[in-house]
Amino acid sequence: MLKNRETWSILGLPFDAVGVNRSLALIEQAIDQNTRCFISTPNLNFVIATQSDAAFFDSVVDSDLSVADGMPLIWVAKLLGVPIGERVAGSTLFDELSRRPREKKIRVYFFGGQQGVAERAHVQLNETSVGMQSCGFYDPGFVPIEEMSDSTVLDEINAAKPDFIVVALGAKKGQAWIQKNREYLNAPIISHLGAVINFVAGNIERAPGRWQRLGLEWVWRIKQEPSLWKRYFSDGLMFLKLLLMNVFPLTVYDRFLKRSACFSETCGINLSQKNDGQVVLKGGFNSLTLEPVKQTFSSIINEEKGQVTMDCFKLSYIDSAFIATLMLLQSSLAKQGRHLTLINVSKRINTLFMFNNVRQRFNIEY
């Protein structure tokens, strides 16, 4: 899977470089081939919340597809030269799938939402959609994750044979519930799309397209849900801090490095054949030189044995594509009970980690 993904790090989270059409194609392919796909749709609130919640962060990195659902993320990507230029909102993906006629409609299961909302979404979808049909709904109420993860609940979902489980429990709780139960659930697609249930049920209206393109959907949301203003205000302040402390310094520093000799140094990667495998990196790695990295990382994952040490003494440059790939490697190793340690990290590489907002995500030994 790692070899087939083109991912970039934005504000410390990995994102797949896909637009709406490619995302739709991947979803339909997973459904048609009955291949499991956990989709995360991080927006600015995800970025802020994952700063202090490691489990929430892990849920995004563990996703099979992570798309940028927020114009601030697109603006940052453009500023940093990251090739993610289109916002992929979860509600847009759902709307497009709902409007596309299919010989075999996509079976949707609504899980969560406020009392009665999932049922209204169930009824409305079956009355209006040409591409989807609701096969069931469940409102667990305000109960702990353990209680809503009972085998009787999960069996009921599986019995409905959904293709797409739409979860709406609040971002942190929803991602945690998916992480806990995704292996037990049989649906090909599962994603936390909290606002989708409200949109489908007709509780709230989505912002007009022009508002969305201008990055003003948050204003529209506050108009309909005034209680959201505190969250948006807090997120806005944190975003400003990230711009001043991370994004703007990274823009300047990265452009400086790209003009220096370190950027064009010949790169190389070597994996020692030991139980405690050591990866030696040499030179500069960017999106154009990632193929051997992905191949080596994939072989490490496939071996499923030993801890991994990465020697960065001769590593001269990394970009956000390398960083995102490194995060995916670490996530895969963690699932196997293995650990990644970076050693001999230079001041330059450490600075790049810091400005990319991922320094705290790795175990670094100097």
Last residue of a domain, one of 234, 252, 270: 234
Clarify whether residues 173 and 270 are in a common domain.
no
Clarify whether residues 113 and 35 are in a common domain.
yes
Clarify whether residues 225 and 286 are in a common domain.
no
The answer to whether residue 40 sits within a structural domain is yes
Clarify whether residues 173 and 293 are in a common domain.
no
SS3 155: helix
The answer to whether residue 250 sits within a structural domain is no
**What pLDDT, on a 0 to 100 scale, did the predictor assign at position 260?**
85
**What pLDDT, on a 0 to 100 scale, did the predictor assign at position 235?**
83
Clarify whether residues 171 and 266 are in a common domain.
no
Other Cβ atoms closer than 10 A to 219: 13
The answer to whether residue 160 sits within a structural domain is yes
User: What is the mean pLDDT of each successive set of 10 residues along the chain, which is 366 residues long?
Assistant: 84 97 97 96 94 95 96 95 95 95 95 90 95 95 91 96 96 96 97 90 74 72 75 87 97 92 77 69 89 91 88 93 97 94 95 97 90
The answer to whether residue 256 sits within a structural domain is no
Query: Is the C-alpha dihedral spanning 121, 126, 132, 133 positive or negative?
Result: positive
The answer to whether residue 50 sits within a structural domain is yes
Clarify whether residues 14 and 52 are in a common domain.
yes
How many independent structural domains does the chain possess? 2
**What pLDDT, on a 0 to 100 scale, did the predictor assign at position 276?**
60
The answer to whether residue 266 sits within a structural domain is yes
**Residues of the domain holding 74:** 2-234
The pTM score is 0.92
According to DSSP, the β-strands at 277-285 and 268-271 are antiparallel
Clarify whether residues 112 and 10 are in a common domain.
yes
CB 44, CB 73: distance < 8 Å: yes
**What pLDDT, on a 0 to 100 scale, did the predictor assign at position 1?**
58
Clarify whether residues 157 and 83 are in a common domain.
yes
Clarify whether residues 37 and 174 are in a common domain.
yes
The answer to whether residue 254 sits within a structural domain is no
Clarify whether residues 90 and 50 are in a common domain.
yes
151-160 long-range contacts, CB within 8 A, separation 24+ = 154/181, 154/184, 154/185, 157/109, 157/111, 157/185, 157/187, 158/184, 158/185, 158/186, 158/187, 160/107, 160/109, 160/135, 160/136
Clarify whether residues 115 and 218 are in a common domain.
yes
**What pLDDT, on a 0 to 100 scale, did the predictor assign at position 145?**
94
Which of 166, 114, 172, 109 has its CA nearest to residue 140?
Answer: 114
The answer to whether residue 245 sits within a structural domain is no
User: Cα separation of 347 and 34, whole Å?
Assistant: 46
Scanning the chain, the segments in alpha helix (DSSP H) are 20-33, 44-49, 54-61, 71-80, 90-99, 117-128, 151-159, 171-181, 194-201, 209-213, 217-224, 229-242, 248-258, 291-303, 320-335, 347-355
Clarify whether residues 164 and 295 are in a common domain.
no
**What pLDDT, on a 0 to 100 scale, did the predictor assign at position 3?**
64
CATH number at residue 297: 3.30.750.24
